[in-house]
Structure 1
Amino acid sequence: MVVEPEGKSMVTFYTTGDGNCGYRSLSTLLTGVEDYHWHIRLKIYEYISYNGENIYGIRSAELAREYYVKYQHLLNVPPQPVNQDLYAGNDDFYALADMLECNIYTYTPDPLPSYPNVNSHFKDNIKINGAPTLFLMYLNNNHYEPIISFQ
């Protein structure tokens, strides 16, 4: 898919829409394939479980406990389609930005009235100059695809 905001074309890569699309997109950006989406999900959940109180955008012991419960449950579950309560979202992106010390942007071509067109996720809410940066497209208010190039 090609989207052209402000004169720039963003090229995305098709991602399977089974509730794991956010993690599949991260897997594609980090490894070149979707295959590691479940491992990435588990690592993010584990990271939030133990560090949630200190991650910008989360800073919640209660949320950290919720992720710990999800993490413990999913450790014993094979990769499979999931429902909306396990979709990737801002918490996951803030955690990954914190864990990898990278910058993450999500672009929404048709945002809801109260949602920004571009949403940034930085460690401690500070863009790290020169750090790896991941770009995701958020489509139809329920699907992510990795942005693989800008033209």
Structure 2
Amino acid sequence: MRQWWHFTQTVLGILFRHPVIGTSIIPILPDGRIVLIQRRDNGKWGLPGGMVNWGEDIPTTVQRELEEETGLEVSRIRRLVGVYSSPERDPRVHSICVVIEVEAQGTMEIKDSMEVSDVQAFAPNSLPIGTLSHDHDRQLQDYFNGLTTLA
């Protein structure tokens, strides 16, 4: 059902020629590691996140997507890292991505195995920068540089 809803959202976005809104989440564990997911669609590592559902605000989307993709809970939203709107940032559809840094807690586990094949925590200096999905390399680079980006 969830997969069908994502397909429907994408088709509606294409039909009405409006971008879809989504999130990327930079989850920071209490020990400072950053959690990434391995995507099923392209096999690459990336930040957890997803599309904003109809009637849902960004904080709710962040909480829902983090829990669905990593099993973790948001203990605190830290800051807005940026808003990324380039039509080329997502190969599937024109999407606007709101990137949020959060403090996360709990036990990592994949709850959405249709989208995620693995979930792992990385020390900041061991992230697979340069090979991440979509524009997540840039999002993390902006995060590490302390920027709030509008792109």
Q: TM-score, normalised by structure 2?
A: 0.25
Compare the two structures and name the one with the higher helix fraction: 1
Q: TM-score, normalised by structure 1?
A: 0.25
